């Protein structure tokens, strides 16, 4: 019985965290929105313990902020915050791409080796879905595929700590970007859609090309947010 309870609580914790994370990334929980553990527990019809654990998890990821003695709230990130986030992301991805030049174990086989080709093909499919969502201006779908694209791509480098750190940075930067992007009535053609180009560059072992693509994406997204912030 105790074992079953632990599994149930863990599952509830994850489900609540996933649901709230999706609400923040979709922009339905707006910046500054505050709530208590009791409020969320009542909404989901569960006890306070898994809710508190879920909110603490989201706070550790930068998706929520703990407001001491008051509960939690959605952070209000600025464009300056976003600039720092993408700078940090760029430092991580630059290092990842440079491992291609030195020969990381995950990429020691030839680009046309079936194992390498299969792994990159899977990532490329995520990129294709992300590009379709970007072309359609569907921000929520794009975020889901973009995060999955980068999780799977960074996992190929064989360092789970790096992959987890990059995922957290990308989630935080999307939380920040969404707060601004929702001001646009039509997002078609305004969002980066170079995922497949990036995978193709990595498949060719062109680390510098991959770096330039990501740098251009970061510059583009920062310019869009700066324009929105300036009205």
Instruction: Report the mean per-residue pLDDT for the chain.
Output: 86
How do the domains of the chain map onto residue ranges?
2-73, 79-229
Helices 207-229 & 79-102 angle (0-180, nearest 10):
180
pLDDT band at 215 (very low <50, low <70, confident <90, very high): very high
Q: Which CATH number fits domain 79-229: 1.20.120.530, 3.90.950.10, 1.20.1250.20, 1.20.1260.10?
A: 1.20.120.530
Which tens digit of pLDDT belongs to each residue from 162-197?
899 999 999 999 999 998 898 888 999 888 889 999
pLDDT of 97 reads 86
Which tens digit of pLDDT belongs to each residue from 133-168?
999 999 999 999 999 999 999 988 878 898 999 999
Smallest CA-to-CA distance from 168 within 16, 30, 60, 24 is with 60
Task: Provide CATH code, domain 2-73.
Answer: 1.10.10.10
pLDDT at 106 over 80: no
Q: Considering the entire predicted model, what is its pTM? A: 0.86
pLDDT of 113 reads 62
Mean pLDDT across 104-114: 57
Token pair recorded at residue 177: 């970007």
Which tens digit of pLDDT belongs to each residue from 4-53?
434 455 688 999 999 999 999 998 998 999 989 999 999 989 999 999 99
**Residues 89, 94, 96: CA angle, nearest 5 degrees:** 95
């Amino acid at each position: 019985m105790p074992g079953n309870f632990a599994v149930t609580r863990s599952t509830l914790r994850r489900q609540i965290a996933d649901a709230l994370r999706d609400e923040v990334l979709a922009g339905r929980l707006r910046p500054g929105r505050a709530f208590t553990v009791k409020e969320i527990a009542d909404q989901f019809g569960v006890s306070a313990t898994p809710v508190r654990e879920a909110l603490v998890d989201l706070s550790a990821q930068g998706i929520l902020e703990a407001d001491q003695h008051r509960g939690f709230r959605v952070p209000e990130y600025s464009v300056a915050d976003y600039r720092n986030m993408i700078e940090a992301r760029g430092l991580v991805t630059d290092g990842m791409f440079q491992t291609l030049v030195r020969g990381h174990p995950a990429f020691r086989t030839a680009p046309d080796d079936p194992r390498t080709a299969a792994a990159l093909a899977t990532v490329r499919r995520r990129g294709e879905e992300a590009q379709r969502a970007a072309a359609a201006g569907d921000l929520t779908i794009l975020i889901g595929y973009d995060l999955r694209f980068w999780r799977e791509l960074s996992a190929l480098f064989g360092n789970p700590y790096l992959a987890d750190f990059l995922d957290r940075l990308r989630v935080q930067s999307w939380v920040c970007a969404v707060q601004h992007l929702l001001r646009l009535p039509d997002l078609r053609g305004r969002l980066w859609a170079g995922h497949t180009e990036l995978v193709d560059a990595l498949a060719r072992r062109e680390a510098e090309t991959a770096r330039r693509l990501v740098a251009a994406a970061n510059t583009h997204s920062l310019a869009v947010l700066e324009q929105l912030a300036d009205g």
